[in-house]
Amino acid sequence: MKRTLDSLKVGSRAEIEDIASDCERANRMATLGLIPGRMVKVTRFAPLGDPISVEVDGQEISLRRAEAHIIQVKNISE
């Protein structure tokens, strides 16, 4: 089964495999550096569990779980 970014625990790393949705959201996320092939690290969850904060290419980005859900990841090290 494909794992998605929202399923990762705090502290885990993974490689972005693909962004599922077409255009718009994918475009936005890709612009900020969430593109296939890059490593992401989940740095923390917000106090209420959502959104989550990830590190990619030396920058910190916050996104909601619903958005993280469209990012497929592989090579997970938890």
Partner 1 sequence: MNAPTEAAEPKRQGRPLVALVGNPNTGKSTLFNRLTGLRQHIANYPGITVEKKSGLLRACGSEMDILDLPGCYSLTAVSNDERVVMDVLGGRRGLQKPDLLVFVLDATNLKRNLLLVSQCAELGIPALIALNQCDAAKRNGIRIDVDLLAKRLGVPVVETIATRGNGLEELKRAIVTALDAPSALPKIHWPDCITHGCGLLRAGFQGAGSSDLTQAEALRVLFDSDSVFTCGVSDKACVKKLLDTAHKEIRESGLNPGSAEAVIHYRHLETLLDGVVEATGPIARSHDSIDALLLNRVWGTLIFLGVMYVVFQSLYSWAGPLMDLIDAGTSATQDLTRPLLSANPALQSLVCDGIIAGVGGVLIFLPQILILFFFIALLEDTGYMARAAFLVDKLFSWCGLNGRSFVPLLSSYACAIPGVMATRTLSDPKARLTTILMAPFMSCSARLPVYILLIGTFIEPLYGPLVAGAVLFAMHFVGLALALPLAWVLNRFFLKIKAQPFILEMPDYRVPTLRNIFHRIWERGREFVMRAGTVILAFSILIWSLLYFPRDPEVKERATQSLLASAALHYAPTDIQAALENPESDLSAALIHHIDSAYIEQSYLGRFGKAVQPVFDPAGFDWKITVGVLSSFPAREVIIATMGIIYNLGADVDEGSDDLRSVLQKEKWTSGPREGQPVYTLPVVLGIMVFFALCMQCGATVAIIARELNWRWAAFSFFGMTALAWLSAVLIYQVSSLF
Selected from 2, 11, 30, 78, the binder of partner 1 by CB under 8 A is: 30
Site for partner 1 in 51-70 (CB under 8 A): 51, 53, 57-64, 67
**Token couple for 67:** 């958005």
Q: How far is the CB of 71 from partner 1 (least distance, A)?
A: 10
Find the helix or strand (DSSP H, E) in which 55 lies: strand 52-56
Question: Residues 6 or more apart from 70 whose CB is under 8 A from it?
Answer: 4, 19, 20, 21, 25, 26
**Residues contributing to the site for partner 1 (CB under 8 A):** 18-19, 21-33, 35-36, 43-44, 46-51, 53, 57-64, 67
